Structure 1
Amino acid sequence: MIKFSRSEDYAVILVHALAKQYNKRLVPLSEIAKKYDISILFLRNLANVMVHAGLIKAVEGKNGGYFLAKDPKTLKVGEVLRAFSHKQMLLCCPTGQMHDGKCPKEAFCETKTIWRRLNEEFLNKVSDLSLEEFMRYRM
């Protein structure tokens, strides 16, 4: 099972929306918030993290907005996820017993090594997937 945090999920939505307007126009967060029914405050927090990570850029002012810092051909989905994952396991065991990113049975779990390895392999795979390639799939 892949378990994305709300931040990771909405961050991918944010870069997807910006990629659709790449080299066309600045995109106000309010537009994205309205279209996807996401809290503008939550979206602002995500955008700040992504600006500091060098994934997106902001232009302030009346006609301001956000745009991708990289071409969608070179921006990797893994970069976006890693900005928010903070070593959290995205893949977890089928029991789904993760709480706040930790499993209460981790100390004696005999399968944790394989789940960690699969998690790292998943992140490596999405590190090779460009945003442009990702956008070919329907959201």
Structure 2
Amino acid sequence: MLSKKTQYAFHALTYLAENQGKGPILISEISEERKISLKFLENILLELKKSGILGSKKGKGGGYYLIKEPEEIGLAKIIRLLDGPIALLPCVSLNYYERCENCQEDICGLNVVMSEVRDNTLKVLENKSLKDVLRNY
């Protein structure tokens, strides 16, 4: 399940994408339009900026803006950035592998099924971008 943080990130990113070309957008505008707590949104946008998805400008006419086109911002990247692994079990994660406690992976049927779930989820998420979640396109 996507965390509130990731859901809010997508709300903010879609707002920025819908207003792309209008210059930097104030965080207070995004907060008000998407009904997200200003403090919570500040942290989310800062993380997205540090990861190279957003840029920001300070001072008059300042705010946040997309550095990449919406079709270049992958859904899987955003989810991993804010929520961590996409896999439902740590033992099937491609990027965050951890052995499960008291598990015998070589005979675990759950591991096999969750690997298939992960693969199918990734097949969708890695081929979808911010552009796919925009309502305007």
Change (3 A) 1:112 1:21: same
Distance of 1:39 and 1:118 partners within structure 2: 33
Shift of 1:123: 3.2
CA RMSD, Structure 1 to Structure 2 (Å):
2.7
Shift of 1:56: 0.7
Shift of 1:60: 1.0
Runs of 4+ in 1 over 6 A off after TM superposition: none
Distance of 1:110 and 1:71 partners within structure 2: 41
- Tell me which residue corresponds to 1:129: 128
Change (3 A) 1:107 1:129: same
Q: Matches of residues 99-118 of structure 1 in structure 2 within 5 Å?
A: 110-118=109-117
- Deviation digits for residues 40-59 of structure 1, max 9, x if unmatched? 11000001110111111111
Work out the percentage of aligned pairs sharing the same amino acid.
Answer: 24
Report 1 or 2 for greater relative contact order, CA contacts < 8 Å, sequence distance ≥ 6: 1
- Tell me which residue corresponds to 2:32: 34
Distance of 2:102 and 2:64 partners within structure 1: 41
Q: Which runs of 5+ in 2 are unaligned?
A: 90-100
Amino acid at match of 1:68: L
- Deviation digits for residues 69-99 of structure 1, max 9, x if unmatched? 101122222221121121254x58xxxxxxx
Point out the structure with the larger helix share: 2
- Tell me which residue corresponds to 2:63: 65
Distance of 2:131 and 2:102 partners within structure 1: 37
Shift of 1:107: 5.0
Distance of 1:8 and 1:69 partners within structure 2: 19
TM-score by length of 2: 0.75
Is the contact made by 2:53 and 2:68 (CA closer than 8 Å) also made in structure 1? Answer: yes
Distance of 2:136 and 2:120 partners within structure 1: 21
Change (3 A) 1:129 1:137: farther
Shift of 1:119: 3.0
Change (3 A) 1:35 1:56: same
The number of residue pairs the alignment matches comes to 124
Q: Do structure 1's residue 6 and structure 2's residue 22 form an aligned pair?
A: no
Shift of 1:120: 4.5
Shift of 1:130: 2.1
Answer with 1 or 2: which has the greater Rg. Answer: 2
